[in-house]
A and B are shown apart, each in its own frame.
Chain A
Amino acid sequence: MAGEERSFVTRDIPLPAPTPDTAPFYEAARRGELRLQRCSDCGMFRHYPRPACPRCLSRRFGWERASGRGTVYTWTIVRGPTLPAFESKLPYNVVDVLLEEGVHFVSEVLDCKPEELYAGMPVEAVFVPVTDEITLVKFRKAQSSSAPST
């Protein structure tokens, strides 16, 4: 059955195991929100989650909602070899998105042919549930025509 096949593939993808440091990120993603840690003292966003600010060393932070907008900073097209769980997707892209908030986020641009990718390409976050607990943050080409940084 197709559904079973899908769940088999899903089970095979190595998935995040949320910890106290990262659980707020995944809880937000489940709700369709991209939330990032932001230093309460100097205001810098950071990703991935960690318990102190690399700029001012403050340990005070909040989880702030990010715009989900960014641009492609760099990428690769994986053509194999790769883990068996990803083999059916080959070739697929992995992108480093520079978010408006100034942090880098590694993900994938969905529905995007390899030759369409370019540096500076505007993208926006989409939320892909994989299990009850884990929703992965992916990206798609920005739907609005305005530049994402405005």
Chain B
Amino acid sequence: MRRSAIRDKAAIVGIGQTRFARTLEASEYEMAVEAIWNACEDAGISPRQIDGVVRYDIEQIDEEQLLSVLGNPHLRFFSATSWGGGGSASVLVVAAAAIAARLAETILVYRARARGKRSSYGPGKHQGGRYWEKIPNVLPGPNQWHVPHGLVAAFQEMAMISMRHRIEYGTTDDQYADVAIAFRYHASRNPAAVMRTPITREDHHRSRMVSDPLRLLDCNIETDGAVALLVTSVERARDLRQPPAVIHAGAMAAGSHHIRLPTFFERPFEEQSPVRVARELFAQADCRREDIDCAFFYDFFTSMVILALEQYGFAPRGEGGPFVENGGLQWPRGRLVCNTNGGQLSEAFIHGFNNTAEAVRQIRGTSTSQVPDCEFVLVAGANTDPTGAVILRRL
């Protein structure tokens, strides 16, 4: 085992969220503040004590806007992680590194999304509708190699990656359904979830094909809402209101398998970023894969959860499909209980931040689908480059 400087140095001590819904009236700004206030209340920390911020680079509510509502704090550390879903756990790696380096004491990590057309910020690049609806008509960058052929959205790119997985390994619609059914079942137990009606295999198979091989029920749901997390040092965490979720290990990776398809298939599976992230995580950690009690994969599509099981080494290459069969991911008796909130597929799509909040609840023992005696939880970003993941543990 290799000791990393961030190991067991920081902990998530506050989680806050807004209501999740298809469309909320509130602005991103209002939602961000509500989630942050809720996280502070949860932790017993004043917003004035926040001295660091890590956000997404696509987050609209930036440090400048936050400073004007946090009661005149003095930020000592601010940073952003990139690449959408890939960065959803990377924010915690950056926060833990900053805490370990003593660059800040209380770091806010958050995501606020108003994807509905009612966004008070109007049609910007990443909100007020779908980001790909704002693709400019002139393409000087790498998207010129696929957008002019009609490949305009992540779900289409992931569909092509999923199709290749089916070609090589025979992954099936039934296995996709197994993921969707398990996560919807978890959502049915979670009052915060947007989609709470359980679904059947037939519901899945009958849902409309969006981009072969992905059906509507293979895709995350579009929602509004915000999630905020507070990260502080483990020493300080001991004195706070909630049992801390210690950031035990964390890793990020970027390589040559960028989401942009002309390069995605250039390099072998072993070099994919999540595979490298997993190697690094378990080299740092006190636990083995078998010790992970509960996992949160970035479930933007059912097929990508199946791929993640292989990338993170829970299933051999090509056997992610069989792994999810017969309730393989389902609470309480799955092989690996995953996404107990319902995930992005059924709870809400807050770019994975809601998965992290639920991971913290699992560590605290307060999930609506609680894994007994939960000690180690994996939280992973999306499957394509660049990405990151953390292992949380009980103190």
Contact = CB atoms under 8 A, between A and B. Distances in A.
Interface of A: 11-17, 19, 22, 47-48, 54, 73-83, 86, 89, 92, 94, 96, 98, 103-108, 114, 119, 130, 134, 136, 138
Given A94-B150, A104-B261, A104-B263, A74 B145 contact: no
A48 B133 contact: no
Nearest 8 CB-CB pairs, A to B? A16-B144, A74-B164, A76-B159, A77-B212, A17-B140, A119-B167, A106-B146, A86-B150
B211 interface: yes
Contact of A106 (B136, B151, B167, B211): B151
Contacts of A12: 137
Contacts of A75: 160, 163, 212
Contact of B149 (A73, A94, A119): A94
Contacts of B161: 74
Contacts, number: 122
B223 to A, nearest CB: 17
Contact of A108 (B136, B150, B164): B150
Contacts of B160: 74-76, 94, 96
Contacts of B164: 73-74, 96, 119
B153 A82 contact: yes
Given A76-B163, A77-B209, A79-B212, A14 B136 contact: yes
Interface in B132-172: 132-133, 135-140, 142-153, 156, 159-161, 163-164, 167
A89 B148 CA distance: 13
B265 interface: yes
Contact of A104 (B132, B208, B262): B262
Contacts of A73: 164, 265
A13 B260 CA distance: 19
Interface string B207-243: 0111111100000000000000000000000000000
Contact of A79 (B145, B208, B266): B208
Given A48-B145, A104-B265, A74 B212 contact: no
15 contacts: A14-B136, A14-B138, A16-B148, A47-B145, A48-B263, A74-B163, A76-B160, A76-B214, A80-B210, A81-B153, A82-B156, A83-B133, A86-B152, A94-B160, A106-B146
B210 A15 contact: no
B256 interface: yes
Given A17-B139, A48-B260, A76-B156, 19 more contacts: A11-B137, A12-B137, A13-B137, A16-B139, A74-B160, A74-B265, A76-B151, A76-B211, A77-B209, A77-B212, A79-B209, A79-B212, A80-B210, A81-B130, A83-B152, A86-B152, A96-B160, A104-B262, A106-B149
